[in-house]
Amino acid sequence: MELGYERPEDRPAAPAPLDRVQEFINTRINLRETGDFRDELASPTALRDWLSARGLLPRRAQLGQHDLDRAIAVREGLRAMLARNNDASEATDAEALRALDEAAAMFPLRVSVGAGAEPVLGPAGPPGFEHALAGLLADVVTARSAGLLSRLKACRDPACRWVFYDSSKNRSGAWCSMAACGAASKKRHFTERRRQQRQRG
């Protein structure tokens, strides 16, 4: 049974290393009330500041529009991937996944063996923009290997798609919040059933 979280922020954050992946994807927030959105990565400078604040990029790094475009491609591709964990895929997700695949091919990743003789996937090369995004992608692969990635989901409400960590025992979470997205979904289904009943009547 899904826990009835009233607000997305009431949900527990994903465990490391998924927490920073979750935070990265949720830099874009869809605003249900206006149909608009808020984006924390609205400029190359904003992207640099976000990455450097999390220790992923030197503070003096210089990023351009091309870097921002690649970061957005990774973010929205990851959102599309996580939508599949929640039966929340949309028609545009196929293109987002293709863009993610193209972007990921350019990032340096390598497998190393740690002190425990376990293979570890991580970014390669010197610290920089590509190193930072490679680290986020490595976190995704690591979480999948640990069986945690399926719990990270995009909200099933198409007007939201905020990414949440489903901590329910049976992994039944569908919406980031019951008060907003869950209620809106139930209202839509109720309206659709009434419409179908009128058509049959």
Query: What integer is the mean pLDDT of 31-36?
Result: 82
Contact by Cβ (8 Å): 13, 19: yes
Confidence (pTM) = 0.86
Domains located in the chain, CATH noted: 13-200 (1.10.3300)
Asked whether the bond before 17 is cis by omega within 30 degrees of 0, the reply is yes
User: How far is CA 172 from its chain centroid?
Assistant: 18
Q: What pLDDT was estimated at residue 80?
A: 98
Least confident of 14-23, 29-38, 155-164: 29-38
pLDDT-derived band at 9, boundaries 50, 70, 90? confident
Q: What is the token pair recorded at 83?
A: 């939508």
